[in-house]
Structure 1
Amino acid sequence: MAVVHELWVDGQPASQADLTYHALFNYGAFTSFGVENGGVRGLDLHLARLEASALELFGEPVHEGRLRALIRSALAGRQEAWLRVSLFSPEVWTREPHWIGAPKVMIGVFTRPTPLAGGVRLQPQVYGREAAHLKHSATFGLLRARRVARQAGFDDALFTDPSGLISEGSLWNIGFWRGDEVIWPQASMLEGVAQTLIRQGLDHGGVRQHLRPVTLDDLPDFDGAFLCNSATPAAAIAAIGDHQFGGATDLSRMIEAAWRSNPCQTI
C-alpha cells in the first residue's frame, strides 16, 4: 500500500471529525493522479471530473481555482507525489441525505504506487458498478471482486453483464488490439483519464480506434489486450478466463508512449 504522508481537508490537517465521517460513510467522489516535475498529465480532465461529480452528488460546484489552490497547498512545493483528491460533506448522512452545497475537499499525499506488471490474468465476473460513470467512494464491490479473483488464482477481475458484454476492470479500463487498430469496449463504465489520454495520443499518432460492444465470445478475434489507469498507463493482459493472448509484444510500449505524448499540465 502507498504510504500516506499527509491528509488535508480544505487546506488544513484532517480533523478527527473528518476522519470519523470517512470511517462511517462513503458518500462522495474522488480522483487520483501522479505529479511529475510539478505537473500532471490530464489535470484538466481530473478537475473536470471533480467538478461534474460535485454538481451531481452535492448540487454545487467546487470550482477549478479552489481545487488548484488546495492541490498546490498540499504539495507544498513538492515536484513528485501521488495525490487522491476526494469530495465529501459531513452534512450528508443516512438520516439527512438531502443537503445541497459545495463539498469539502480532502487531499491525500502519497508515495507513488508501483505500476501493475504485465502478464495479467483476469477472471470474468458478472458485476456492474453503481453509478458507473462516477469515480465514487463506494469501493466495497471492487475490492471484493479483486479478492474473489485472487482466491481463484487470477490477478484481478474483469466485469461483464450477464450476456458477457465487457465493461471495465476493478480499478482500470481495458482495451484490445487487432491488426493495426485498437478497440475500446462500449458499455456502462467509468471513462478513465488514462484511457482518454491514450485515445488522444493514438489519434495524434494516426492509430485507428473503434468504440464498440465487446463480449467474451469476441476474445479470439483480438491479437492482444491491455489495461490502463493513471498509475499504470499500460499493462499487457495474458489471459481472460481460459482465453490466452499471444503476440502483440510491442502493444504495451505503444500504449504507454501514447499516454506519455500528452504533456504534463501546470497546477
Structure 2
Amino acid sequence: MAGYDDRDGKIWLDGKLVEWRDANVHILSHALHYASSVFEGERAYNGKIFKSVEHSERLQASGKLLDMEIPYTVEEIEAAKQAVLDANGLTDAYIRVVAWRGAGEDMGVASSRNPVRMAVAAWTWGAYYGDAKMQGAKLDIAKWKRPSPETIPTQAKAAGLYMICTMSKHAAEAKGCSDALFLDYRGYVSEATGANIFFVKDGEVHTPIPDAILNGITRQTIIGMLRDKGITVHERRIQLEELEGFEQCWLTGTAAEVTPVGQIGDYTFTVGDITRDIAAEYEALVRA
C-alpha cells in the first residue's frame, strides 16, 4: 500500500475538499515544533460514524484544554466528516480529524497569533492489532509512565501525550509484542499506548480509574454495556501485581475496538466468555 502522503482521494482541509496529495502544511507550522495539536480517531460502519457527535465534542474540548479554540462548530465538524466519506465513496472506514496551530506570526513557544487549522481524512483500516484481535494480543510493560494531570492535560486527546506511546510501542514490537502497558506516575496500571484496558476476575470486571488517562469513548460504551448485562464493573486503582489473579483481559478503543489480551509481561490470560461476548456485542452495536 502507498504511504499516507501518496494516495488517491480527497481530504477536507480548512473548509474545502482538496486532492489527497495536496493536503500539505508549511514546515514552520507551530504544531510540528511544539505539539500544539489535538485529534480524534473514529470509525464508520455501514456509512455511519459511531458516536460521531461525541468525538466532535471531545475534539473541541481537547482544543480548549490546550488553549486552542477550534474555529468550527460541532455541526461543521460533522458535515466535514460526512463530506470526506462521501467524496471518497467510503462506508466502512477510519476517520482522522486533526486540529493544530499553523504557521503564522509566532514561531516561539507562544502562538496566539497563529491560525488554528483543521483537516479530516478517511481510509479503510482493518483490525488495529491484526491477528491479535482473534488470538489475544501480547503486551510489553513500558518503561515510561503516564504523567500526572498536574503536569499535562491528560483529558485532552493531544499529540504531545503520544510521544512516549510511540517510543513504547516501538520497544514492544522489537520484543515481538503487539503493544505496551503503561503504569501511571503513581505506579498503578493505566492503559496501553492507544487503548484502555479491562480485566476479569470471578465474573466481575475491573478497569483503571481514568484520573490520569483519557476516558475513552469506547471505554465508556463498554462499561455501559457490561452494566446493562448485570456484570459488576469496578473502576479503581489497580496494582501491577494484581494481574496474576486476573483471568481475562481486553483492550478498547476506536481503532482497537475490543481486542482480547493473552499476555502482559509474564502474566497470562484466557480469552474467556465475558471477553468474547462483549466483543461480539460491541461489533453488533456499531453496525446496528
If the length of structure 1 is used for normalisation, what is the TM-score? 0.86
Alignment map for 1:54-133 (pairs within 5 Å) = 54-61=63-70, 62-76=72-86, 78=89, 79-91=91-103, 94-95=107-108, 97-99=110-112, 103-116=116-129, 117=132, 118-125=135-142, 126-129=144-147, 130-133=152-155
> CA-to-partner distance for each residue in 1:224-258, whole Å, 9 max, x for gaps?
11111112221211111111223x52233222234
Q: Work out whether residues 40 and 264 of structure 1, in 8 Å CA contact, stay in contact via their aligned partners in 2.
A: no
Structure 2: tracts of 5 or more residues without a match: none
Q: 1:215 aligns with which of 214, 239, 245?
A: 239
Residue 165 of structure 2 corresponds to residue 137 of structure 1:
no
Partner amino acid, structure 2, of 1:250: D
2:174 counterpart residue number: 151
Q: Which runs of 5+ in 1 are unaligned?
A: none
Give the secondary-structure state (helix, strand or coil) at the position aligned to 2:159: coil
- Aligned Cα root-mean-square deviation (Å): 2.8
SS at match of 1:160: strand
Aligned to 2:25: 18
Q: Is the 8 A contact 1:122 1:155 kept in 2?
A: yes
Give the 3 Å change call, closer, same or farther, for CA 173–82 of structure 1 in structure 2.
same
Shift of 1:221: 2.4
Residue of structure 2 aligned with 1:189, choices 196, 213, 216: 213
Q: What percent of counterpart residues are identical?
A: 22
* Match status 1:50 vs 2:59: yes
Question: Matched residue pairs, number?
Answer: 264
The 8 Å contact of residues 34 and 112 in structure 1, kept in 2 or not, is answered as: no
Superposed CA deviations along residues 47-66 of structure 1, whole A, max 9, x for unmatched, are: 12112012222443531111
Partner SS for 1:76: helix
Local SS of the residue matching 1:148:
helix
Partner of 2:249: 225
Whose RCO is larger (CA < 8 A, sep 6+)? 1
CA distance in 1, matches of 2:188, 2:236: 11
Runs (4+) of structure 1 exceeding 6 A deviation are none
Q: Structure 1 residues 232 and 38, CA, compared in 2 at 3 Å: closer, same or farther?
A: same
